[in-house]
A and B are shown apart, each in its own frame.
Chain A
Amino acid sequence: DAGVIQSPRHEVTEMGQEVTLRCKPISGHNSLFWYRQTMMRGLELLIYFNNNVPIDDSGMPEDRFSAKMPNASFSTLKIQPSEPRDSAVYFCASSLGIDEKLFFGSGTQLSVL
């Protein structure tokens, strides 16, 4: 299996621009997660989906962040408008289901100037 695939690997943008991060979970996995990693706050869960349905988005920082999962093999995390404090590594992860082993993608390094 190819594992969890994220794109792009790196994104540099200017403040105010829209940013879209993409994720393809492992085939057959029913749960998908978006995490953010920063030096100050560590690894934080932003949102997770079960069977393409958002279950818990309490970790989403504010309304500028939105996530979708239109089908079982694709999810996006969008930031609009982006701000310098959004700079971080954004990870997507997937698992077979609830309470299962978590597998991470390689992450997207986002820099907002």
Chain B
Amino acid sequence: GIQVEQSPPDLILQEGANSTLRCNFSDSVNNLQWFHQNPWGQLINLFYIPSGTKQNGRLSATTVATERYSLLYISSSQTTDSGVYFCAGGYGNKLVFGAGTILRVKS
């Protein structure tokens, strides 16, 4: 099956800093999504992005499908950005989740 590798595994930022999270896939995918799990455990969908670039406020994501990776950019980080960021990819409805990047933003 598809293997999903996320980096870095954890990250500590000072409030206001920018960061880039990466997701690599062992095989091509046609369904790729990014999620944020907040400290209360809620999973929030950030992007559905099998290819191309999308932006939503301070967050943006880029997927290069031919090279099997995706990037999530967080600009001007805030303490509320803390939590775990997951990417998930696969075909159709069968998504495989990465192990996540634990982000901690310090004030």
Contacts and interface: CB of A to CB of B under 8 A. Distances in A.
Q: Tell whether A pairs with B.
A: yes
Interface residues of A, number: 23
Contacts, number: 49
Chain B facing A: main interface SS:
strand
Interface residues of B, number: 21
A98 B94 CA distance: 9
Interface of A is mostly: strand
A102 B87 CA distance: 12
Contacts of A61: none
B66 interface: no
A31 B92 CA distance: 11
A48 interface: yes
Interface of A: 31, 33, 42-45, 48, 50, 55-56, 89, 91, 93, 95, 98-104, 106-107
6 contacts: A42-B100, A50-B93, A99-B92, A102-B35, A102-B45, A107-B43
